[in-house]
């Protein structure tokens, strides 16, 4: 998985797919795939991703890189790489 631990938390690299029927986070090989229900207009996808990842990991999520790209880097504050990996290994429902 594309997860890097920093002094501030863990940075995850995700691939975004928009216009999904339901928000979800899935692992596909080494990639973290996030399906967003929003259309890629006026930052709606980014807002939904940050809100849902904050809820999923119970911490603040911040966009580090990729505001207009399908590939994004998200900082999950005050959480370790192993905690992120454990959470991602669990079944996701939203």
Give dist(CA 79, CA 58) in Å, integer: 9
**Which pLDDT does position 1 carry in this prediction?**
74
Tens-digit pLDDT profile for residues 2-59:
999 999 999 999 999 999 999 999 999 899 999 999 999 999 999 999 999 999 999 9
Structural domains in the chain? Answer: 3-82 (3.30.1200.10)
Which distant-in-sequence residues (6+ apart) come within 8 Å of 41 by Cβ? none
Residue 37: both structure tokens together: 């229900």
Tens-digit pLDDT profile for residues 68-79:
999 999 999 999
Residue 89 pLDDT grade (very low, low, confident, very high; cuts 50, 70, 90): confident
**Which pLDDT does position 91 carry in this prediction?**
54
Give dist(CA 79, CA 57) in Å, integer: 8
């Amino acid at each position: 998985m594309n997860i890097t631990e920093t002094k501030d938390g863990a940075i995850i690299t995700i691939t975004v797919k928009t216009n999904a029927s339901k928000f979800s986070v899935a692992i596909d090989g080494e990639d973290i795939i996030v399906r967003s229900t929003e259309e890629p207009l006026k930052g709606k996808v980014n807002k939904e991703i940050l809100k849902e990842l904050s809820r999923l990991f119970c911490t603040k999520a911040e966009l580090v890189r990729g505001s207009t790209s399908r590939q994004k880097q998200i900082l999950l504050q005050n959480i370790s790489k192993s905690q992120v990996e454990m959470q991602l290994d669990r079944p996701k429902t939203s």
